[in-house]
């Protein structure tokens, strides 16, 4: 089964300013309430360990960076336990609307046999986490211009 979760928010800043905050994974702990720790570098092929809080659960995922397009997109993938059980591909996309305004899209596609069992959690806790992250990114970027 496949399931997609997508949120978006407008940020009053240039794509470069949003990217500067997004790509600095070491500082996510300072502003990100959902993925509150990210260890690694935003470079294709690199491993990034993220620790996130979803509802009352905290988990660490071992991700591989798939795409880094400065000022535009960061994407990684991970799997839990064995391939085919539960995996996700998460993308953070910055769409320029004008010189100082962007649409930030936070999207994950989930696949695997366990997705139906996690669907309710994805629709509630994960969605709340995405929205909290989006709002915190907006606040961080707009207050540090």
Q: Give the separation between CA 131 and CA 141, rounded to whole angstroms.
A: 15
Question: The whole model's pTM is what?
Answer: 0.94
pLDDT per position as a tens digit, 24-55:
999 999 999 999 999 999 999 999 999 998 77
HSE-CB for 15 with a 13 A CA cutoff: 16
Mean pLDDT of 108-131: 95
Enumerate the domain spans of the chain: 2-143
Beta strand 2-11 pairing with 101-111: antiparallel
pLDDT at 145 over 60: no
Q: Give the separation between CA 139 and CA 118, rounded to whole angstroms.
A: 30
Q: Give the separation between CA 53 and CA 80, rounded to whole angstroms.
A: 16
Percent of the chain with pLDDT over 90: 90
Percent of the chain with pLDDT over 70: 99
> CATH says 2-143 is which class?
alpha beta
């Amino acid at each position: 089964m496949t399931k997609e979760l997508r949120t978006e928010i407008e940020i009053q800043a240039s794509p470069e300013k949003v990217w500067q905050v997004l790509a600095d994974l070491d500082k996510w702990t300072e502003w990100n309430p959902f993925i509150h720790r990210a260890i690694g570098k935003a470079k294709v092929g690199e491993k990034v360990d993220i620790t996130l809080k979803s509802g009352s659960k905290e988990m660490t995922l071992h991700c591989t960076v798939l795409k880094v397009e400065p000022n535009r997109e960061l994407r990684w993938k991970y799997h839990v336990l064995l391939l085919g059980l539960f995996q996700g591909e998460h993308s953070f996309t910055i769409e320029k609307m004008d010189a100082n305004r962007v649409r930030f899209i936070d999207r994950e596609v989930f696949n695997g046999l366990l997705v139906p069992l996690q669907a309710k959690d994805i629709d509630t806790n994960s969605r709340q986490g995405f929205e909290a992250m989006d709002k915190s990114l907006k606040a961080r970027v707009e207050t540090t211009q």
